[in-house]
């Protein structure tokens, strides 16, 4: 998987800070796996992984390095979809907190609270998310939906372990699927949400061999493309296809399926660190 950064380090960081957003607009930067930076009236990092992930042999399992160190992040909110280390990355969260202190808040599924506490994040900075309970904070409204990763699950206290998020910023709805399979429950829940302006969806699917390695799968290319059509997504961006060794797919396969099903649909595959500015119709 040959991928490199279009922008990184100070060039990328500077662009995130300097980008000005107008009414009905949102800026997005893809930072790998399901990670994105969203900017409207506030700056939000979703599932940032800004550290190496080593295998048992000590060798990195990532195909490309982080664009910058966690301590360089300046964000109003960090939003994580579930507790796996390629989504809620412990070193990244610790580094962001060390650099930002009280100025950054963290929104995670309620079942991830023990992880956050273990990382030393003060409870007053954490907003636990629960499926069906809207979160309203300055500059952003979030509607969490229970994901199935690999099944719909809660902890012993009934707290969600994995979530999808409808994120509304500046009048733009971003549907971030995180990691999930498709179930009857999720299918029904997604159709109750507002029409997504931006649909961020995993495409790596699942198979016998990855399951045998305890590698939990996701929506397949055809499921994601079909959902994009059913939900009438205005712009679809595939995720979860390029970062982790042994868990990649060819995004060109998804594009072929998407255009077969959605000949008039809009789809984008941003380069790593590339800015996408979405303007509401």
Structure confidence by residue, pLDDT tens digits, 215-260: 899 999 999 999 999 999 999 999 999 999 999 999 999 999 999 9
Q: Is the residue at 165 inside a domain?
A: yes
Q: Is the residue at 272 inside a domain?
A: yes
| Backbone φ, ψ for residue 115 (5° rounding) | -65, -45
Look up the pTM and report it.
Answer: 0.97
Provide the number of structural domains found in the chain. Answer: 1
Q: Is the residue at 1 inside a domain?
A: no
* Cβ-Cβ contacts under 8 Å for 281 (sequence gap 6 or more): 234
Q: Is the residue at 13 inside a domain?
A: yes
Q: Is the residue at 3 inside a domain?
A: no
- Mean pLDDT over each residue of the chain, to the nearest integer: 97
Tell me the angle at which helices 251-261 and 221-230 cross, rounded to the nearest 10 degrees.
40
What CATH number corresponds to the domain at position 259? Answer: 3.60.15.10
**Helices and strands (DSSP H and E) totals, the chain:** 7, 13
Which residue has tokens 């979703």? 46
* Residue 109 belongs to domain spanning: 9-279
Q: Is the residue at 246 inside a domain?
A: yes
Contact 22, 278 (CB under 8 A): no
Above 80 in pLDDT, residue 2?
no
Structure confidence by residue, pLDDT tens digits, 187-226: 999 999 999 999 999 999 998 898 888 889 999 999 999 9
Cα 166 to Cα 147: distance, rounded to the nearest angstrom: 12
% of the chain residues with pLDDT over 70: 100
Q: Is the residue at 27 inside a domain?
A: yes
In 185-196, which positions are buried (b, 16+ CB within 10 angstroms) versus exposed (e)?
ebeebbeeeeeb
What pLDDT shows up at residue 31? 98
Structure confidence by residue, pLDDT tens digits, 90-137: 999 999 999 999 999 999 999 999 999 999 999 999 999 999 999 999
């Amino acid at each position: 998987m040959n991928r490199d950064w279009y922008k990184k380090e100070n060039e990328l960081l500077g662009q995130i800070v300097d980008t000005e957003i107008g009414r009905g607009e949102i800026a997005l930067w893809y930072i790998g796996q399901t990670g994105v930076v969203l900017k409207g009236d506030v700056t939000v990092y979703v599932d940032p992984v800004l550290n190496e992930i080593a295998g048992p042999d000590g060798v990195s399992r990532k195909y490309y390095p982080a664009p910058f160190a966690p301590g360089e992040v300046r964000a109003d909110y960090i939003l994580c979809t579930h507790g796996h280390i390629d989504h809620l990355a412990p070193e990244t969260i610790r580094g962001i907190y060390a650099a930002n202190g009280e100025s950054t808040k963290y929104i995670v599924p309620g079942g991830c609270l023990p992880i956050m506490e273990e990382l030393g994040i003060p409870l007053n900075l954490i907003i636990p998310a629960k499926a069906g309970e809207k979160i309203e904070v300055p500059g952003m409204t979030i509607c969490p939906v229970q994901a199935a990763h690999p099944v719909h699950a809660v902890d012993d206290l009934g707290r969600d372990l994995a979530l999808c998020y409808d994120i509304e910023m500046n009048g733009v709805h971003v549907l971030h699927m995180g990691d999930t399979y498709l179930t009857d429950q999720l299918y029904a829940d997604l159709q109750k949400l507002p029409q997504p302006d931006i649909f961020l969806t995993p495409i790596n699917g699942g198979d016998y061999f990855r399951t045998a390695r305890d590698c939990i799968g996701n929506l397949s290319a055809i499921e994601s493309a079909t959902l994009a059509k059913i939900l009438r997504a205005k712009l679809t961006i595939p995720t979860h296809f390029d970062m982790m060794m042994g868990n990649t797919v060819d995004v060109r396969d998804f594009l072929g399926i998407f255009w077969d099903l959605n000949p008039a649909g809009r789809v984008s595959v941003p380069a790593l660190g590339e800015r996408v500015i979405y303007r509401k119709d």
